[in-house]
Amino acid sequence: MALEITLLGTGLPFPNPKRAGPGYMVQAGDTKILVECGSGVVRRLVEAGHSPGDIHHLFLSHLHSDHFIDLGHFLISRWILGDDRPLHVFGAEGLQRMINLILEILEPDLRMRMSIRKVAREMPNVVVHHISEGQALDEDGFKVSAFDVEHFPLEQPFGYRFDIKDHSIVFSGDTRPCDNLIKHASGVDLLVHECTEANTWSKEHGSGQIDTHHIELAHTQPEQLGLIGRDAGVKELVVTHMNPQTIPENIHSTISRDFDGPLTIGEDLMKF
């Protein structure tokens, strides 16, 4: 069973034509699982040759909008394309309410689309799984577990670990360096880790009203990421969640000071 990871989006909340918001697809055989659903992810999914209707499981690391803002687009596209199978969405407390609100926004549109149909149709069926640290899914050879990370000021941010046959992949979600991630990513084949530079962040916030000191409690800097990869002993490191102003060559040289394995500064639509 060939395993493929596609980076659908390697950006963050700041709109960036080169990087969609966070999104990753894990595919093994016919099973495709989406992790995060940031801005532009549905378009990237189609660019990568997939359809929203191919996906029946979605994992959200936390409820910051950059990780879910395309969810309405995903739900309605999946429905328009004719898929009535349930979509299982996994995430923190608050997810059910969020899904209810998105479906409420979509309802008038769904009713209009139903009114022109010859055959009756169900409304989208979304099954929400509120999770905590531990195993979240064991299906079709996919084992997915959630683990706690540290992303101030959120109460329930998660990273995800996928174990598929003898392959292991970890998605950090958004986090500052934390021991629990190193524990769960220990020795994995692939670590997809965020890198939200503080020194390019400030240029994005013209207002100057954000206390950028929160970044050290919430995100990981390039000079910290090589140590994380090294301490976890990961076989390969892929960097994501980058500012529009981040210069890939710069962070590559910083991270590779401490991590000497294969290192890729992610770009949208890269596959591993």
The footprint of Zn ion (CB under 5 A) covers 12, 64, 66, 174
Q: Which of 212, 210, 56, 196 is nearest to 139 (CA)?
A: 56
Residue 244, CB-side half-sphere exposure with 13 Å CA sphere: 12
| Interhelix angle 95-115/71-80, nearest 10 degrees | 40
To Zn ion, the closest distance from the beta carbon of 83 in angstroms equals 27
Instruction: Give the tokens for residue 262.
Output: 């294969």
Residue 63 beta carbon to Zn ion: minimum distance, rounded to whole angstroms? 9
| Cβ contact 186:75 at 8 Å | no
Decide whether 65 or 135 has the Cβ nearer to Zn ion: 65
When the beta carbons of 11 and 72 are compared against Zn ion, the nearer one is 11
Q: Which residue has the tokens 């409820």?
A: 63
Query: In the complex, what is the shortest distance from the CB of residue 177 to Zn ion, in angstroms, rounded to a whole number?
Result: 15
Closer CB to Zn ion, residue 83 or residue 174?
Answer: 174
> Which lies closer to Zn ion via its Cβ, residue 150 or residue 163?
150
Residue type, 210: I
Beta sheet of 3-9, edge-to-edge order: 3-9, 23-28, 31-35, 57-59, 87-91, 126-130
Other CB atoms within 10 A of residue 234 CB: 26
Min dist CB 31 to Zn ion, Å, is: 26
- In whole angstroms, how close is the CB of 11 to Zn ion at the nearest point? 9
Residue 12 or 144 having the CB closest to Zn ion:
12
Angle at 234 between CA 36 and CA 3, to 5 degrees: 55
Q: Give the nearer residue to Zn ion in terms of CB position, either 24 or 79.
A: 24
Helix (H) or strand (E) holding 217: helix 215-218
Alpha-carbon radius of gyration of the chain = 18
Q: How far is the CB of 150 from Zn ion (least distance, A)?
A: 11
Spatial contact of 163 and 210, defined as CB atoms under 8 Å apart: no
- Nearer to Zn ion by C-beta: 82 or 153? 153
* CA proximity to 240, closest of 6, 9, 41: 9
* Shortest Å distance, C-beta 114 to Zn ion: 35
